[in-house]
Amino acid sequence: MLIFSPRHGRSDLALWKDYEEADLLVTSVDRMVEQSLKEIERFVCACSGSVYAGVSWGKDSVVLAHLLWRRARDVTLVHLRPTNHNPDCDAVRDVYRKKFYGQPYEEVLVDYSRVDRAKLPDCEVDKATDRMWYAAIRDVDLRYGGKHLLGIRKDESAGRRIRMCKWGLSSPNACAPIGYWHCEHVFAYLAQQHLPVHPAYAMLGGGRWRRDRIRVAELGDTHGRGGGRLEWENEYYGEELRRWEQNRESGK
């Protein structure tokens, strides 16, 4: 269920319609779902204390949230909200929580505005924001006993493939129940379960951008600018990027 945005062009929506029709025909997702639900049950039952799930409101974390709604509804969903968050994440959050109520939810602000980007090179900005991000994660971990679930998949990076090879779906402290899913399974599950889909995944430039390469957690992040990410952000979220830059220059 794509959340529509004025940023979408006519060609974007036409292409998305074709994608979604294909997503509804994918049948291999059923086997993946059963494996994931069993792993969630096993991990949550094995946790002696509290447990939380990290959600960004991108495609993978919406799937994770819904799987938890089906099998472990008491697990708290925790959203780390950086000051450069994608503004459309809020719409995904609101639609999901209205439709699938009953899950505890918490947002944690990560205030990147304290980093003076104007006086630092990109590499130092990366280090400063990384320290703030991981400090927020450590704080959440401490409050929830370190046990958590994440919507990460081995297809996304070499580091995650290594993690899956070493631990499988679950390590002693972390569970990645959709770790073996491919991107086609994620979009198929979203379509077949009528889950809210972040509008960014249909911001496809009429086919110039691949939906599986779009990231929605942050805008203007100096990490991962390759593969056209910076150009894509300027095309669809240029107004937000320029406004943030003006606010930084004016000290707001």
Q: How many CB atoms lie within 10 A of CB 140?
A: 18
Mean pLDDT on 105-130 = 78
Q: Which residues contact 235 (CB under 8 A, 6 or more apart)?
A: 203, 205
The DSSP secondary structure of 107-133, one letter per residue, reads EEEE-GGGS-GGGS-HHHHHHHHHHHH
State whether CATH 3.40.50.620 applies to domain 10-250. Answer: yes
CA 188 to chain centre: 16
DSSP-assigned letter for residue 213? G
pLDDT recorded at residue 132: 86
Contact 199, 216 (CB under 8 A): no
**What pLDDT was estimated at residue 225?**
61
Q: Tell me the pLDDT band of 47, cut-offs 50, 70 and 90.
A: confident
Report the chain's mean pLDDT, rounded to a whole number: 90
What is the pLDDT at residue 218?
87
Reported as half-sphere exposure (CB side, CA atoms, 13 A), residue 29 has a value of 20
> Taking the domains of the chain in order of start, what are their residue ranges?
10-250
Q: For residue 76, give both structure tokens.
A: 């708290």
**pLDDT (0 to 100) of residue 11:** 96
- Residue 178: per-residue pLDDT: 97
Strands 148-149 and 52-54: parallel
Q: Quick one: pLDDT at residue 223?
A: 59
81-103 pLDDT tens trace: 998 899 999 999 999 999 998 89
